[in-house]
Amino acid sequence: MRAAISRGRRALRVEEVSLPEPGPGEVRVRVSACGVCGTDLQLFHAGLLPIGLTPGHEIAGIVDRGGLGVSGFARGEPVVIEPLRSCGECRACRAGRDSICPELRLLGLHVSGGMAEYVVVPAHRLFRVPAGLDPRIAALAEPVAVVLHGLRRAAFTADQRVLVLGAGTVGLLGVLAARALGAREVWLTARHAHQAELGRAFGATRVLGEAEATPAALASLAKAAPFDLVVETVGGKADTLRAAGAALAPGGAVSVLGVFLGPVELDPYPLLVKEATLAWSNCYARSWQGSQRADFEDAVALVDGKRDLLARLVTHSVPLGEVERGFEIASDKKAGAVKVSVLALP
């Protein structure tokens, strides 16, 4: 089969590799579409994608072949993949919190992922999607699950005032999810006009520009209208944790979804006097506070219900053979890119 292989900083090569065979309890999936994530881009540009790794963890495809002991999936059935491998036996896994398993590995980050024609995963990591759902949109179930888990980690409740920092894919989906779950208002910070436009379409009450999103500007804003919940989606080297603390209402929470690439500046005094909760969030859970519904299950339902609106998020698609060009397109936010999808099927 063909797969995109990391060959160094900003170098992805499509090569012929052995077709993987599913072991006991595993399923081979024929990949249809795989989204380029912001984390993929950060690692790609920083030269941190391991040599020989196939990236990609936002994966939609069809069932190809089941291994020994697998039942309940039909060949050709459309699915999305929860891209985790965990031990299944530790305290965290038994509680349904696979994302904090000490042995956690993510497809596309620690082991080869979905920017290939086929991928093999444990059968319990598959979630069915409705027939007819565009695989480029179905693959958004992964970042939607990230957002839903982040909101749950921060104890989101309906009628809250929410501020989302950053208007990439996760930020825009944060607006959509918070609105769908009943937020009274959702404000958004955005750098580019096309991001602001999508934010409004997804339900943003107001969109703030860069000058309005500094810690000082948000502190001034919060004197009259603080936020119950701030969702940080930028990461990298951004000064967003100080901004979040400045914008927060007393007793509020910050949900940290962005992946930071090094030490960040944090002003602890505003967080102290506000008795703020800083809720770090990694991936998704399979149960949460007594609920047996996986974040991915709820994400698939939300994606299906909002499929027409979410089609606007997938701004570009490239075939697998042009994966490196897809990464370059995704890096150029000024040109209007939001979500770039790599299509493995012809």
Record: fold of 155-280: Rossmann fold (3.40.50)
Report how far residue 311's alpha carbon sits from residue 319's, in angstroms, rounded to the nearest whole number: 18
Q: Are 142 and 299 in contact (CB under 8 A)?
A: yes
Q: Which of 217, 228, 182 is nearest to 203 (CA)?
A: 182
Would you say the CATH fold of 155-280 matches that of 2-143+287-343? no
Record: fold of 2-143+287-343: Quinone Oxidoreductase; Chain A, domain 1 (3.90.180)
Q: Where are the domains of the chain?
A: 2-143+287-343, 155-280
- Burial 118-144, CB ≥16 within 10 A → b, else e: bbbbbbebbbebeeebbbbbbbbbbbb
pLDDT given for residue 289 in this prediction: 67
pLDDT given for residue 290 in this prediction: 66
Pairing, β 161-165 against β 185-189: parallel
Q: Which residues of the chain are modeled with pLDDT < 70?
A: 289-290, 346
pLDDT given for residue 21 in this prediction: 97
pLDDT given for residue 287 in this prediction: 80
Count CB atoms within 10 A of the CB of residue 239: 15
Total-model pTM: 0.96
pLDDT given for residue 317 in this prediction: 97
Amino acid letter at 35? Answer: G
